[in-house]
Amino acid sequence: MNRKAAVIIGLQTLIIVILFWVLVFFGRDEYEAATDKQDDNIASTSHVGTENGAATVTLSPQSQQQSGITTTMLTEASHRTAVSAFGTVMPIDSLVELRTRYLAARAEADIARALIANSRQEYQRLAQLNRDNRNVSDRAVAAAEAAWQSDEARLKAADTAASSLRDSIRQQWGDTLAGWATQTAAGESLQRLLQQHELLVQVALPFDAAAPAADTPLLVAPIGAQDRMVAATFVSASPQTDATLQGKTYFYRAPVANLRAGMRVTARLAAQGKSAAGVVVPQTAVVWYANSAWVYRKLATDKFVRQRISTDTEAGDGWFNSSGVKAGDEVITSGAQLLLSEEFKYQIKNENDD
């Protein structure tokens, strides 16, 4: 009985497996046909080819409209290449400390200078009285002279300390910031730094970049937040270097905004010289293939050619190109990915036919 039941169960299992594969075999063609019909919604009206070595896609105006394909004419634009750099928001604690010590040394020198005037005058008075019939003792004259010389030494020490501190500020922060810091009354630029309305940013430009002019705009933003760029004002060359960044260093003043002391920043400096002429290719026109950026440029009412573009220079919501595409060219800005898919399907079909 058990053997008979086992045979029956085995036969049922075999029949189920056979039926499953029959369904798979006969249903496969219908499924592929349905899929091809859905995916190749413009295949019947498109043709893929080549022209001068470049891939082209021919698509009737009616199919373009049905597929939602639109084009945009590129217009002439000019662009001045920007230099990319990195930098650091500098804490100015040491600058403030050196300024405080310098002003204290200056104050000490001023006090000593005032005392010298009195002590010298007192010594001269007593010395004269000593010469006139010894109305004042020699000891009093000597004490007055010692006081005078002590004030002279005090003035010299204060002047030396102030001079040393001024040189230290200059070596660490440069001539411009040293000039700001050694003024008794802080100027507007230094006040904005001290009151934290602005921050000091040190930027390391590439060695082959031209030295920035005072009126050359610089945009800075925290790393990872390039959409929050703020304009920074040139201060001076920086005598300091950045241990983690190689390049020529410069100081800039930037609004506080999203910046904080010690923060790493990315910077963009407009290059000096003439602007280059070209066009800005919108981001919506670009498709990516084989690690390159491409656009579909209109050759005729129903024909488009895939053309490589450069993405080296960002400009607004696109990329600036000075060659390859030009003003007056029409490129697809909606539906470019659809044409790229048509190319792929054509290539796959040819491979299968082979």
Q: Which of 215, 241, 270 is the last residue of a domain?
A: 270
Task: Say if CB 49 and CB 350 are below 8 A apart.
Answer: no
Round to whole Å and give the CA distance between 304 and 294. 12
Both 224 and 147 in a single domain?
Answer: no
Both 236 and 324 in a single domain?
Answer: no
Both 128 and 178 in a single domain?
Answer: yes
Predicted confidence at residue 30, as pLDDT, reads 57
Bridge partners of residue 269, in order along the sequence: 83, 218
Both 34 and 47 in a single domain?
Answer: no
Worst-scoring range by mean pLDDT, 6-10, 117-121, 157-161, 279-283? Answer: 6-10
Both 24 and 59 in a single domain?
Answer: no
Both 201 and 264 in a single domain?
Answer: yes
* Nearest by Cα to 254 from 212, 209, 193, 204: 193
Q: Which of 229, 247, 270 is the last residue of a domain?
A: 270
* pLDDT band at 327; cut points 50, 70, 90: very high
Torsion angle in degrees (nearest 10) through CA of 164, 167, 168, 172? 180
> What's the CATH number where 346 sits?
2.40.420.20
For residue 245, the 8-state DSSP code is B
Any long-range contacts for 37-43 (C-beta under 8 Å, 24+ apart)? 39/345, 40/345, 41/67, 42/66, 42/67, 42/338, 42/342, 43/342, 43/345
Domain hosting residue 20, numbered range: 1-39
Predicted confidence at residue 135, as pLDDT, reads 75
Both 128 and 54 in a single domain?
Answer: no
Q: What is the pLDDT of residues 86-121, one digit of tens each?
A: 999 999 999 999 999 999 999 988 888 888 888 777
Q: Enumerate residues 6+ apart whose C-beta is below 8 A from 256.
A: 196, 197, 198, 199
Q: What is the total count of domains within the chain?
A: 4
Structure tokens of 243?
Answer: 């241990």
Worst-scoring range by mean pLDDT, 5-19, 125-139, 228-242, 326-340? Answer: 5-19
Q: Enumerate residues 6+ apart whose C-beta is below 8 A from 159.
A: 105, 109
Q: How would you class 258 by CB atoms within 10 Å of its CB: exposed for 0-12, middle for 13-18, buried for 19 or more?
A: middle
Q: Which of 230, 254, 270 is the last residue of a domain?
A: 270
For residue 81, the 8-state DSSP code is P
Residue 159 has pLDDT above 70, yes or no: yes
Round to whole Å and give the CA distance between 114 and 121. 11
Both 171 and 97 in a single domain?
Answer: yes
Residue 54 has pLDDT above 60, yes or no: yes
Both 265 and 280 in a single domain?
Answer: no
Worst-scoring range by mean pLDDT, 140-149, 173-182, 304-313? Answer: 140-149
> What's the CATH number where 262 sits?
2.40.30
Average pLDDT of the chain to the nearest whole number:
83
Predicted model pTM: 0.57
Q: What is the pLDDT of residues 194-237, one digit of tens each?
A: 998 999 999 998 888 878 888 877 899 998 887 788 989 999 99
Task: Say if CB 201 and CB 265 are below 8 A apart.
Answer: yes
Worst-scoring range by mean pLDDT, 130-139, 178-187, 251-260? Answer: 130-139
Rg of the Cα atoms in the chain: 40
Both 257 and 294 in a single domain?
Answer: no
